[in-house]
Structure 1
């Protein structure tokens, strides 16, 4: 274990209770409510972390969630979008409706944190044997929302309005390509049909911020995510006689380099950022055989819908023209996994003071645009929404050097759990009008 990783581990295990006492300017009722559930939140998070499940397979996690919500006396619906769980808390006074969302799925990543409750789970993902890890922090999201639900249920009699708790599967994507992500499938199955909230809120733990800080911005915040696949067809031949065939590997490589020129020379990235990345390049089975097909798979990230359409059109034209010039063919398929996450400006203005009350004004920072994506955007496209980040890197560690989300060494300081509960609880209470 590397020394800095050991320091992070020690901080993660020991700092949580102490951090809860260090924050200032926190409403006493909110701080006390968060502290009252802290022990359970930590236990839930560690349990879920040790037993991660991939998208649409969150069976154990969903049962844990449903069991806890039933203990609070809530009416619980399960099996939404395969494994999603929803419950509604009706306050004792009239008021608005809100939805609070947490995602439950883990990633096909083999854990390298050295935590005593590290995942040892393995499974098969798209034909490959993989480890499974909560490398993005969804274990924390579930535990935080369960803590918020517990705190709100404790004041049900005096609580105005209604709160829907949404525990969503498959934010990272379904096990099979071409299927819907969890948020869209929940909406398609009517999660907001009988209970349409006035606003929806979500959070994400974030290695790029130190524990204690919360990040938010108005307007576009997270990018739209498209999954693309490019199939180049050539003509098979012996590796020693390339002139007898059409080499799809060379053509695919030319296309890949050409797409980078699209971003660098044809798109105004000063107006709106864009990223086009290939994550897979598959072709051939033997060193001296030129195959007849090469396939590339990757992602496109954009913030502007018109720019997205323009890049896809340029990508397709570039691929087809390079292929035609070499006697090959190219077919581009694009699947929209998630739209851009855009925080409603008026709602963000209303929420920012709540975050400042929860963690202190100096600890609420303006987030830059992030080219990561989140299907929380699906909910926020139906009703006004705000999504914010909760710092998860231990104090004393440079967040710029900490293992990032999706890393096998991603290590959450458990002080972030208290910050997450306090932040979301304060946002909910303020919006509902409770004191």
Structure 2
């Protein structure tokens, strides 16, 4: 394969990409409304000759680059929002707003800006069109789905033939590229439950129906459900993440208990099993103990599915760029979730992880001390630009 973007060319962008990444890190915002973040990105995109569209119900940016040669459309995506985490990294550019880019989205934006600069510099030879998708609300607000509803996939006049995204990882060695064909990340859903008894005096539980010990039975049943109702080859992770009662005194029995379960699956079949069978099981336990039971299923992100054919091509490009020893073929999917899944439901493509662990050692995502080595930014830009160009050349 012939490289379109040399290492040295990408490295020339390092200083400006690091600077804008650190500015974005300090300007972190949460959710769908990110005016300061959007403003920084619009400033950086100014003068590149892109067709810019802002979102109407969220602070998204869609930028279209039309190449000088005819060809198809490819989409590149970077997410924009942070997390409600008070930063404790001690970095000189630490966020002080009470929110933090603890999942590396500041690097995602800077890396996508770098890809745009690389591709714009060779616009005349570009064999097609590239959509740059800057997306808010990845951390639970389904910003990707909203951008699709607002037309991001049709921004160039025709649908993309492929879509790619990079996600940095503070627990993977710097510069290591990681992906797999098929299921890459899990779906994420929730089930909210209410268990109702009668309440009463804590000294006389026999005179009422105490829902608290029944809630304990439900929690154990949830754990047994995953182990005994689902195939070992297609498991789910079901965790009770919230538990509270309406009792406000130590001598008062609760009249109701509220629970919430987080549900992660790797297939729609398993998700359907959980959605239909788990509430029936839990309602039966509640009824046997004299309690009323209500539940609400809340669907969130679908499985992030890397198209197998596209992933084979992606792996070939990655091997060529950095060498096979720096490319990891992931054996099993991650049980975390990603709303790039909405794009991959509509367009074949792939999500790739790039290691950005600091020299001090690996750190978990979403932690208040998560540090990402922004030395990987030129690599991010190069990989995204190379993937887009080579897919356009394939037609």
Same fold, judged at TM 0.5 (above): yes
For 1:195 and 1:133, the matched residues in 2 are separated by: 36
Alignment correspondent of 1:404: 364
User: Residue by residue, what CA displacement relative to the aligned partner does 1:86-113 show, whole Å, maximum 9, x if unpaired?
Assistant: 0100011111210000111111111111
Distance in 1 separating the partners of 2:261 and 2:366: 16
1:334 aligns with 2:297: yes
Instruction: Please say if 1:312 is aligned against 2:272.
Output: no
Give 3-state SS (helix, strand or coil) of 1:351's partner.
helix
1:152 aligns with 2:119: yes
Q: How many residues align?
A: 390
**8 Å contact 1:340–1:373 — kept in the other structure?**
yes
- Alignment of 1:118 with 2:81, yes or no, is no
The question of 1:183 aligning with 2:183 is answered: no
Alignment partners' CA distance in 1, 2:27 and 2:202: 47
Distance 2:283 2:34 in 1: 41
Shift of 1:238: 1.9
Q: In 1, Cα distance between the equivalents of 2:251 and 2:46?
A: 62
Greater Cα shift, 45-54 or 242-251: 242-251
1:118-174 Cα shifts (integer Å, max 9, x gaps)? 1111xxxxxxxxx31111111110110011111111111111100000011101123
DSSP-derived class of the 2:178 partner? strand
Provide the alpha-carbon RMSD of the alignment: 1.7
From 228, 234, 249, the counterpart of 1:265: 228
SS at match of 2:342: helix
Kindly state the Cα deviation for residue 285 of structure 1 after the two structures are TM-superposed.
2.2
Structure 1 window deviating more from structure 2 (184-193 vs 196-205): it is 184-193
Alpha-carbon distance in structure 2 between the residues aligned to 1:233 and 1:116: 51
| Cα deviation code 1:22-73 (max 9, x no counterpart) | xxx9948431331122111111111111121111121111111122222212
Once the two structures are superposed, residues 379-426 of structure 1 have per-residue CA deviations (whole angstroms, 9 ceiling, x without a partner) of 0111101111000113573xxxx3211111111012222221222122
Q: 1:162 aligns with which of 129, 143, 151?
A: 129
For the 8 Å contact 1:26–1:360, the answer to whether it is kept is no
SS of corresponding position for 2:33: coil
Match of 1:423 in 2: 383
Task: Give distance in 2, aligned partners of 1:199 and 1:28.
Answer: 18
Q: Give the corresponding residue for 1:136.
A: 103
Find 1:389's aligned residue among 347, 350, 353. Answer: 353
Bigger shift: residues 374-383 or 193-202: 193-202
SS in 1 for 2:300: strand
Distance in 1 (CA, whole Å) between partners of 2:249 and 2:9 is 62
Structure 2: any 5+ residue segments left out of the alignment? Answer: none
Show the 5 A alignment for 1:198-213: 198-213=161-176
Deviates more, 1:86-95 or 1:296-305: 296-305
Alignment CA distance shift 1:170-1:150 (3 Å): same
TM-score (norm 2): 0.95
User: In structure 1, what is the equivalent of residue 243 of structure 2?
Assistant: 281
Does residue 240 in structure 1 map to residue 203 in structure 2?
yes
Select which of 249, 252, 263 maps to 1:300.
Answer: 263
TM-score under structure 1 length normalisation? 0.86
Task: Please identify runs of 4+ aligned residues in structure 1 that moved more than 2 A.
Answer: 25-30, 394-397
Structure 2: distance between partners of 1:35 and 1:432: 23
